[in-house]
Each structure stands twice: as C-alpha cells, then as structure tokens.
Amino acid sequence: MKRSRLVPLALLGAAAFGLSACQEEATDAASFDTLDSCLAAAKADGWFTEADCRDSFTTAQALHDETAPRYASKDICEEQHGQGACGTDSVSGSSGGGSIFMPLLMGYLIGSALGGGRPVAQPLMGRAGGGFATPGGTAIGNLNGAGKMPVQAFAKAPTTKGLPPMTRAAVAERGGFGKSATRPSSGG
C-alpha cells in the first residue's frame, strides 16, 4: 500500500521538475541607443556600471561586425531592416566587385551575466516592421528601456563575416530577418 502512494508522488515530482525545465531562464537587461545613454543610466550600486557600459558597447560593435546579416543589395537589406537602416559592409569587403550591405548598428542590449560575471552584450539592428532585434533575431520594441530578457537573447549568432551575402531567394527561404531555414524543435 505504501508503495502505491510513493509511485504517484514520484511521478508528480518528476512532472513538476520537467515543466520547470521548460520555462525560459531570464536575466536583467537594458537597451540603449548610444553609449552616452547607457552611461547616464549606470549606477555604481546597480547591476551595471559605467565601465560595463563601455565594455558592452565595444563588444556589441565587434559582434555586429562579425554576426550582422549581410545582403547582396541595399534593397533587400532595407526590406528587412527599414529605409535608411542599411549601409555598405566595410568589414568583409567584397569579392567579385559588388557591394555587400548590412544593417546599421542602432543600439545595444546589455544583460546581467549569469554566475556573477561581467554583463554581456548584443548589438541591435532595426526591423522593417518596427522595433529592433539582435543578430540572432531576439526582438525588442524600443531602445532605452529595461526589463527581463531570456538568457538565449545573449547567445552569439552565427558568424556572417566572410560568407556570401544573402540574395532575395535566400531571404525568402529563411522567412526574413531573424528566421532560420529550418525550424527548431520545441523542447518544452
């Protein structure tokens, strides 16, 4: 009789643990349009300091140069990121004589590092429909705000530097900026 009571309790405990594993882990985050706006919001006793703002801005610039999407034409880039939100990629250069276009760095996201380390950063680019997104596709509505973000928002996007730029067909296959050609499975 005791054994029959323990089995349902063990199953219930396992189910609760499984459901909690499916919940996304969140971290404190703030977005800024400029380094100066981050510096103005930094507090010595807050979760990020002026030094963190400077380090995160430098990191975001480097990540943008390495991971921002690259397009074969300015028209394709602006369809994904908005009018006037694209420029020539001066980092990768171009083979074959044509230009490569990429979205401009519009701001950056700073997040409280897990494990007590220094804050982490992600660049932000405009989205044609409004708002902003990281190179990995995590969207935010506006800049100069704060709140909780999924930890995955700070995962480094794949490197695009040195790869062939996306054509209109490649963008359509992916479903647009922030999408991937294959759908990830949902684990919970």
- Using a pLDDT cut of 90, give the percent of the chain over it: 63
Residue 85 has pLDDT above 80, yes or no: yes
Longest distance between any two alpha carbons in the chain, whole Å = 80
Which is more confidently placed, 102 or 44?
Answer: 102
Which is more confidently placed, 121 or 184?
Answer: 121
Residue 160 C-alpha from the chain's centroid: 14
Average pLDDT score over residue span 145-151: 92
8 Å CB contact between 98 and 25: no
The count of structural domains within the chain is 1
Beta bridge partners of 117: none
Residue 49 belongs to domain spanning:
25-174
Q: What is the pLDDT of residue 106?
A: 96
150-179: per-residue pLDDT in tens?
999 999 999 999 999 999 998 988 766 654
Query: Does residue 36 lie within any of the structural domains?
Result: yes
Listed residue (172, 185, 41) closest to 119, CA to CA = 41
Query: Does residue 139 lie within any of the structural domains?
Result: yes
Q: Which residue has the tokens 């506006």?
A: 142
Q: What is the pLDDT of residue 101?
A: 96
Query: Does residue 165 lie within any of the structural domains?
Result: yes
pTM of the entire structure? 0.77
Query: Does residue 17 lie within any of the structural domains?
Result: no
Q: What is the pLDDT of residue 89?
A: 84
Residue 138 has pLDDT above 80, yes or no: yes
Q: How many CB atoms lie within 10 A of CB 34?
A: 15
